[in-house]
Chain A
Amino acid sequence: QSVLTQPPSVSGAPGQRVTISCTGSSSNIGAGYDVHWYQQLPGTAPKLLIYGNSNRPSGVPDRFSGSKSGTSASLAISGLQAEDDADYYCQSYDSSLSGYVFGTGTKVTVL
């Protein structure tokens, strides 16, 4: 029942840059609600990676960056490293559902 759409997978070689898109609608991202991103390493709980569209919590490397435009958002990982191999989820709020919504998730594979 994911309301936000992400590509199922992206991949890149170490050192490369990859981007993950998150497409929503006029009741969530397009309504002005912020987009947040989470990183989920295998077998662990999601970890907040980007908040408020483009802000990094303390301790998150500046290789991770986020942006938002219209009804979509993007997460970019530059200088890809082996430890970035994980699942990534976007998240926002939806006024029609009156609740929090997550993206479908993207598996990042470091080749």
Chain B
Amino acid sequence: QLQLQESGPGLLKPSETLSLTCTVSGGSISSSRYYWGWIRQPPGKGLEWIGSFYYSGSTYYNPSLKSRVTISVDMSKNQFSLKLSSVTAADTAVYYCARRPSGVATYLFDYWGQGTLVTVSS
């Protein structure tokens, strides 16, 4: 059974860099069958896609966050990470990692981690 688990600091100060890791078990992030990505949800608000990557090394970012986001991968540990720079209170959210099947036009997320709350506060 596939499992995704987010980890990282839960509290940041404004201007710091958010760093989260998603550890995948029960499946391989080096598989050509899937993309992997990050999605966030501010408290009481809706979902926002942050970015995704494919095993080939391609990365895709939400244009509204692109200047501050980096997704990196550690295939040996079956982990991928998110870095979001220069955070503000507006970046306070639950951050989810998720899987997307790579079939043609299958732009959906079929497995999600439980999510981790990141709070930005001075």
Interface residues, chain A, CB within 8 Å of chain B? 1-2, 33-34, 36, 38, 44-48, 51-52, 57, 89, 91-93, 97-105
Contacts and interface: CB of A to CB of B under 8 A. Distances in A.
B63 A99 contact: yes
Contact of B49 (A33, A34, A100): A100
A45 B64 contact: no
Interface of B: 45-49, 52, 60-64, 96, 105-110, 112-115
- Listed residue (A44, A89, A100) with the most chain B CB atoms within 10 angstroms of its CB: A100
A93 B107 contact: yes
B114 A45 contact: yes
Contacts of B109: 36, 38, 46, 48, 91, 100
Given A45-B112, A45-B113, A34 B107 contact: yes
B110 A57 contact: yes
A80 to B, nearest CB: 23
A2 B45 CA distance: 10
B47 A102 contact: yes
